[in-house]
Structure 1
Amino acid sequence: MDDVILQMTDIVKEFSGVRALDGVSVSVRRGEVHAICGENGAGKSTLMKVLSGVYPHGSFGGVIELDGRPVRYSSINDSERDGVVIIHQELALSPFLSIAENIFLGNEVQRGGVIDWNRTNLEAAALLQRVGLAESPVTKVLELGVGKQQLVEIAKALSKEVKLLILDEPTAALNDDDSAHLLGLIDQLREQGITAIIISHKLGEIRAIADTVTVIRDGKTIEAFAVEDTPEIETRIIRAMVGRPLDSQFPPRVPDIGAEKLRVENWTVHHPVDADRVVVDDASFTVRAGEIVGFAGLMGAGRTELAMSLFGRSYGSDISGRVYKDGVEIQTRTVGEAIKNGIAYVTEDRKRYGLNLIGSITVNVSAAALGKLARLGVIDRNREYAVADDYRRQMNIKTPSVSSVVGNLSGGNQQKVVLSKWIYSGPDVLILDEPTRGIDVGAKYEIYGIIAEMAAQGKAVVVISSELPELIGLSDRIYTIAEGRLTAELSRADASQEELMRHMTATRNLGAEAS
């Protein structure tokens, strides 16, 4: 364990004059799990792309040594030939090909120049068994959930005789069970002598799986330390990541709660394809001005379906129920109608539904409220730019210019752009679905501050989150939802994680319980 398999020394990488990596050095021992930590935009993913040849030798400064010898990779194929395999946060599988075809894509099992399908499927089956996936090798990838796709990516890496496996946010989109299985697999691979580098924001996972941690901040190496020798490791990582201790995970807030702002009555939603299946079942709830109301539920409980159906009926069929704002019934039959009535929805999937990834920050910030920028039907581009730049400063979006393409920003900065878009639309009710998913602790703190500020301005704020400590730390009241039914309403004082989980696994709905 003491010998070094990877040494990266004084790595420098610039983009358009902005230094993303500024003399980063990392030393990884053979057979360990090495965690790379840092805020969004700190340079973690950039460093791994330098290592794996995504950014070729010559496009960066510094030295990379593998097994004690300098390496100069011109492409990802070069690094894979040396057993260095990276699995990106955005999985790179072809959905319409089978598992076996994906595993050996570009590395086909051949006999006489022709693909040997029997051997392909047999070798794929052996690899799937090794990663604990019971699916047939001929199953198409599109039929798999994200957790199983992650295992296919690891099987693909094992097919290349991997020595150094790099995993970029491997559990960001996984539920607890899939995350536990994946971490167990990484532990097994370590026992087999495979070295792993894991980038993760989940400090509990790092404590559980990592041997060593290197922290990067603003493109520089801050410190590296062994996990087993570090008491209060999460506190130490946070302090190194953000440059200061976070004495509290949540900004101080004194609620100033006013009159009822939003009331939903008897809201029922059916599945968009299977019309007989009820996804949201007779839900009724309220949110007051200046109040933050949380929604807690297990995956598939109906939280997102409830939010999307309220926001312009973006999800579901045969929707019934009533929506009131300030005591007056309103209609939210289309997204435009919902926006006009002062409702905004920040989606859990910002890349798919929340942002135009090939557009600039300016274009994204103005997207939901172009009418505010138009004169005689023509958009005032100077004003549009000024608005976006104002939000860049207010939200502390880390970018040289609001002309920057949103797809090039870190996850935390992308989330700030989404929030800016909806805040600029001037909503009275702001629904936030997993607002801090895939975001580091420093960016989380900033977003918590933005949420608190929205409530302080008298907005009614709804927060949907899978992180129970987050809901308890943010919310004034919390509703629990199970199998599409609201099962409890708890004050912040009464909302322990155990109590929330008890109601999240209940089957009786809130109306029945109240009666």
Structure 2
Amino acid sequence: MAERILEAAGVLKTFPGVRALDHVSLTFGPGEVHAIAGENGAGKSTLVKVLSGVCRPDAGVLRYQGLRLNLTGPLDAQRIGITAVHQATNLVPQMSIARNLFLGQEPRSRLGLIDLARMHAEAEEIVSGYGLRVDVRRPLRSLPAGARQLVALARASATGARVVIMDEPTSALEPPEIRTLFETVTALRAQGRSIIYVSHRLEELYEICDLVSVLRDGKVVHTGPLAGLDRSRLVSLMLGRSPVRAPAPAPTGVPAGPGDPPLLQAIGLTRKHVLADVSIALREGEVLGLGGLLGAGRTETAKAIAGALPLDSGQVTVAGTPLRRSITGAIRAGVSMLPENRRTEGIVPALSIRDNIALAALPRLSRFGVVSNTRIDRVVETFMRRLRIKAVSPRQRVSELSGGNQQKVLLARWLAMHPRVLLLDEPTRGVDIGTKAEVQDLLDELAVDGLAVLLISSDLDELVDGCDRVVVLRDGAIVTELSGSEITEDGIISAMTSARSDG
């Protein structure tokens, strides 16, 4: 049996209404870089938290070098040799770079005091190995995001941990910094350490990783060498689909479809590390799908259009009029967005169904600053009936509803604004089959009524069956636009794994 440093056996972790990890069993050996891949909600983040001691499993066993673990927190994990480098660095911004590097392990003098001179000298030597030429006495917060990420990696390496978990480590790095990180990973592998590498960037996995485990719906659906595993096959495993058989068409940029001129145009949307010159057009009565893997830039594109994501450059127009870059400006122009996470960005749990639906439309339902309860009740009744929201009464707390009905309440809120453009981010995620069908039927009705709909979905059937066109993004840029008979599962998956054209 191959040597194991860290092992998870039958790990189960549940949260209210969600089984995040479903009897996950994985082993991590010395001198290997083991990728963890999967779409949003697959269980990757929860697995990282369990392995690094952030949260405890409900069932199952963790073993480190053959001994059973009972981690009580991240410090517990670090003491025995397991450390994690998170996407959001878990260091102390107010402290100096040197103090962050040696946090909890500061060099001491004979009197037991912190030896500042030695700490600063050793810190300078460490960071210089990562290409950082900085004063280590400066606060960590004074560094740009990429440099802070490298400091976090330097700390993880300097602790001598045998297991280093990297969770989206390149999210804020520039190409030279990414190269430094890869060189560090290679060095750690040569030292016999075990690297667990989580990233949505497939190029990184194929460049730096030896093995890959794919999670889907909290379960391990594949573990094996990356060499020889076709990219399309990997994506198919992540999505739960059959491998693709044909390449997708080349990217076409802003579509020039038939009919009336675009109602909404997004031109050259750009934000460093997030979006790269994204341009789309959307017409009245059209459902435009956005496809792509986690981190492709779908949600960010929608948020940029809705004024919720600051941009470095680019413009959005509605009916030829430029939008103000704010949520309020977008709403006034008739652009509404249903967010992906209804619990944190959507519903107000303590309020009633009635109040949640009326929340955004209150200015429209008042006269001279006085809210008309009669008008609110009429609007709420209309949309509860139209969306078939199942509840005891409009006064029932929205938190008492099922997930599907909460999603309908959110949709009702934005429809009550009578938008011209509706941006929907995973509108059927986490809802039952019946509710999903109802939402899809409603989208068809809205399009017939002339509403322009932008649909983000990880459900390929939803994109294939419900969209007039599908734009596929990868690494924050458009790689392909599909229309008509081109919209197939094979075409979308192939586009997700294709190289982006710069032309």
Question: Is this a same-fold pair by TM over 0.5?
Answer: yes
Q: Distance in 1 between matches of 2:388 and 2:134?
A: 47
Correspondences of 1:63-212 after superposition (within 5 Å):
63-111=61-109, 112-212=111-211
Correspondences of 1:340-355 after superposition (within 5 Å):
340-343=332-335
- Residue deviations 1:343-377, cap 9 Å, x none? 35799xx99xx964996599999698343799726
SS of residue in 2 equivalent to 1:108: coil
- Residue deviations 1:456-487, cap 9 Å, x none? 49xxx99997544x3433699xxxxxxxxxxx
Q: Structure 1 stretch 370-379 or stretch 28-37: which is displaced more?
A: 370-379
1:3 and 2:3 equivalent? yes
Structure 1 unaligned runs (5+)? 268-283, 295-303, 394-400, 410-415, 437-442, 477-495, 501-515
The code of the aligned residue for 1:110 comes to: R
- What is the CA-CA distance between 1:128 and the residue it aligns to? 1.1
Correspondences of 1:280-429 after superposition (within 5 Å):
289=284, 290=286, 311=307, 325-326=318-319, 332=324, 335-343=327-335, 356=345, 369-371=360-362, 376=372, 403=399, 427-429=419-421
Q: Structure 1 length as normaliser, TM-score?
A: 0.63
Q: Distance in 2 between matches of 1:44 and 1:14?
A: 13
SS of residue in 2 equivalent to 1:110: coil
- Other-structure match for 1:20: 20
- What is the CA-CA distance between 1:24 and the residue it aligns to? 0.7
**CA 1:467/1:133 → structure 2, altered by over 3 Å: closer, same or farther?**
same
- Other-structure match for 1:446: 458
Q: Distance in 1 between matches of 2:103 and 2:166?
A: 19
**CA 1:166/1:310 → structure 2, altered by over 3 Å: closer, same or farther?**
closer
- What is the CA-CA distance between 1:26 and the residue it aligns to? 0.2
- What is the CA-CA distance between 1:155 and the residue it aligns to? 1.2
Identity of aligned residues (%): 32
Structure 2 unaligned runs (5+)? 250-254, 269-278, 291-299, 391-396, 427-454, 485-498
- Other-structure match for 1:242: 239
The code of the aligned residue for 1:193 comes to: G
SS of residue in 1 equivalent to 2:103: coil
The code of the aligned residue for 1:15 comes to: F
- What is the CA-CA distance between 1:336 and the residue it aligns to? 2.9
- Residue deviations 1:321-356, cap 9 Å, x none? 9x97446x5774864343122235799xx99xx964
* Contact 2:472–2:480 (8 Å) recurs in 1: no
Q: Distance in 2 between matches of 1:342 and 1:42?
A: 34
* Contact 1:103–1:153 (8 Å) recurs in 2: yes
**CA 1:373/1:63 → structure 2, altered by over 3 Å: closer, same or farther?**
farther
- Other-structure match for 2:40: 40
Q: Structure 2 length as normaliser, TM-score?
A: 0.64
SS of residue in 2 equivalent to 1:222: strand
Q: Distance in 2 between matches of 1:138 and 1:168?
A: 27
The code of the aligned residue for 2:480 comes to: I
Correspondences of 1:245-284 after superposition (within 5 Å):
245=242, 247=244, 257-262=258-263
SS of residue in 2 equivalent to 1:45: helix
* Contact 1:312–1:332 (8 Å) recurs in 2: no
- Residue deviations 1:127-173, cap 9 Å, x none? 21333333231233223222222111111112322110001122234
SS of residue in 1 equivalent to 2:55: coil
- Residue deviations 1:432-476, cap 9 Å, x none? 9xx89xxxxxx975278878999749xxx99997544x3433699
- Other-structure match for 1:49: 49
The code of the aligned residue for 1:132 comes to: G
Q: Distance in 2 between matches of 1:133 and 1:427?
A: 49
Q: Distance in 1 between matches of 2:47 and 2:308?
A: 42
* Contact 2:357–2:410 (8 Å) recurs in 1: no
- What is the CA-CA distance between 1:211 and the residue it aligns to? 0.9
* Contact 1:49–1:55 (8 Å) recurs in 2: yes
Q: Structure 1 stretch 237-246 or stretch 203-212: which is displaced more?
A: 237-246
SS of residue in 1 equivalent to 2:458: helix
- Other-structure match for 2:272: none
* Contact 1:361–1:417 (8 Å) recurs in 2: no
SS of residue in 1 equivalent to 2:28: strand
Q: Distance in 2 between matches of 1:418 and 1:180?
A: 43
Aligned length: 415
